[in-house]
Amino acid sequence: MDNMIGADQILQKRKTFMFPCTSHFYKQPPQMVRGHMQYLYDEKDTPYVDFFAGVSVVACGHCNEHITRETVKQVETLQHTSTIYLTQPMVDLAERLARILPGDLKRTFFCNSGSEANEGALLAARLHTNKRDFIALDFGLHGRTSLTMSVTGIPMWRTDPYLEKNTHFIPRPFDGGMTLDEAAEKSLQALRQVLAEKGDTIAAMIVEPIQGNGGIIVPARHYFQEVHALLKQHNVLLIADEIQTGFGRTGAMFAMEHFGVVPDILSMAKALGNGTPIGCFSTTDAIANSFNRPSASTFGGNPVSSVTAMAVLDYIEQEKLVRRSHKLGQLLKDGLLELKHKYNFITDVRGMGLMVGMEILGDAPQRGAEAVDMIIECMKNRGFIIGKNGVNRNVLAFQPPLVIHESNIRRMLSALEDVCTGGHAWLYEASPAK
């Protein structure tokens, strides 16, 4: 690329021409120029192993050749008609999703992003139940539209000061001071109470099976089964937001499978397009049939996104990425747990498959957030892109493309150990090694 302007000018243009609400990682951010599978390259062609996959999106790898080839073929053939004309890729994708979705989830509505998918799922629940309100978990994240923001429980992402007050938040089934079973019981207790008092006004409860932005939170195995049973008693639907967890990320095609629960509605986005914008939600015949008033998304189900998504599903299946995520996830988690045993400042390691979080200084989260920023900067300088999340932004997030190699993980763990051990007096002072 001859016209590359470099990181400084990109920052300047962002500042001048874009909204100040968006932020970026790193004190010295590189300009990312190209990607190939698990690697990203900056303007100097320095390679980085990507352990964040563009926030859990690029599961099949950057610019995956198989997916790119299929996408380009479709771009050259027919790009857009809107759903008012008949095209085949959209219906083929819907049929394909029905085959891999759990239980009797078989009807799909296509749109363009995660927020839009959840917005539609919430609307479908209202139309089916004829009820208005929602239940959501503290510290969940479901999107940026008004309705999805109103069910988002992370204060920093509730940007709109005038959100509708139609959501009942209950504690999430995780609390640093409790066992998972105790935290699940606390959450279920609150759910029982809300349902007893308000059940006849509540359309749905929306959950992430494993909270992503909230810090990679895996509930006790029985939690969602009990949630679903309680909701059913009050004709309240369960919406599983699998936008971050879907398509093999957690070592199952969908994370709800780990909990043995088939939700009433399941929303998807991110990895389904491997970088191409797509979102959708799927449900049963009965619920879909209640959504019969007109609705349409101009780009939803367009031939290009649909063909890309089918190529993604082909690739996940052919390369057995779900199993790979499970297997390599274990290696990653075990390696991070070993580090936890060595360093006091690592207060938790949690996750499933290739969705693993490492909490830093959980007992002093503000310092933990500063430490996380320092660690991701040092790791970037060593050629590894690590994410971060958590309510207090003190959780390192490891969510690499599922095509990552064992050797990438081993090298990253060794670099992380170096960063934890050497050179960072500040971290040491914060909490000496055990």
The residues, ordered by sequence, that sit 6+ positions from 199 with a Cβ below 8 Å of its Cβ are 233, 234, 235, 236
DSSP state of 30: P
| Closest distance of CB 18 from ligand PMP, Å | 17
CA-closest candidate to residue 280, choices 91, 100, 102, 120: 120
| Closest distance of CB 143 from ligand PMP, Å | 4
| Closest distance of CB 144 from ligand PMP, Å | 6
| Closest distance of CB 381 from ligand PMP, Å | 26
| Closest distance of CB 200 from ligand PMP, Å | 28
Task: State the residues that interact with ligand PMP by CB under 6 A.
Answer: 55, 113-115, 118, 141-144, 208, 212-213, 241, 243-244, 269
Alpha helices in 58-113 (DSSP H): 65-77, 88-100
Residue among 303 and 387 whose Cβ is closer to ligand PMP: 387
Classify the phi-psi angles of 156: left when phi > 0, otherwise alpha if psi is within -120 to 50, otherwise beta: alpha
Residue among 199 and 357 whose Cβ is closer to ligand PMP: 357
| Closest distance of CB 392 from ligand PMP, Å | 17
Residue among 42 and 119 whose Cβ is closer to ligand PMP: 119
Residue 161's alpha-carbon distances to 77, 155, 164, 165, 169, in angstroms, are 45, 11, 9, 11, 17
Residue among 114 and 199 whose Cβ is closer to ligand PMP: 114
Q: Hey, what are 275's tokens?
A: 């970088």
In terms of residues, how long is the chain?
Answer: 434
Q: What is the rounded distance in angstroms from the CA atom of residue 211 to the CA atom of residue 148?
A: 15
| Closest distance of CB 55 from ligand PMP, Å | 6
Residue among 52 and 345 whose Cβ is closer to ligand PMP: 52
Classify the phi-psi angles of 101: left when phi > 0, otherwise alpha if psi is within -120 to 50, otherwise beta: beta
Residue among 151 and 379 whose Cβ is closer to ligand PMP: 151
Residue among 244 and 250 whose Cβ is closer to ligand PMP: 244
**Parallel, antiparallel or unpaired: strands 265-268 and 279-283:** antiparallel
| Residue with nearest beta carbon to ligand PMP | 114
DSSP string, 255-267: GGGGGT---SEEE
Residue among 52 and 223 whose Cβ is closer to ligand PMP: 52
Q: What is the rounded distance in angstroms from the CA atom of residue 131 to the CA atom of residue 139?
A: 24
Residue among 154 and 188 whose Cβ is closer to ligand PMP: 154
| Closest distance of CB 35 from ligand PMP, Å | 19
Burial class (CB in 10 A: 0-12, 13-18, 19+), 286: exposed
**Contact (CB, 8 A) for 312 and 321:** no
Residue among 59 and 269 whose Cβ is closer to ligand PMP: 269
| Closest distance of CB 116 from ligand PMP, Å | 7
Burial class (CB in 10 A: 0-12, 13-18, 19+), 407: exposed
Residue among 218 and 419 whose Cβ is closer to ligand PMP: 218
| Closest distance of CB 388 from ligand PMP, Å | 13
CA-closest candidate to residue 7, choices 29, 27, 25: 29
DSSP state of 270: G
The helix or strand, by DSSP H or E, that contains position 167, with its residue range, turns out to be: strand 167-170
| Closest distance of CB 17 from ligand PMP, Å | 21
Give Cα 434 to chain centroid, integer Å: 33
DSSP state of 113: S
Q: What is the rounded distance in angstroms from the CA atom of residue 259 to the CA atom of residue 205?
A: 16
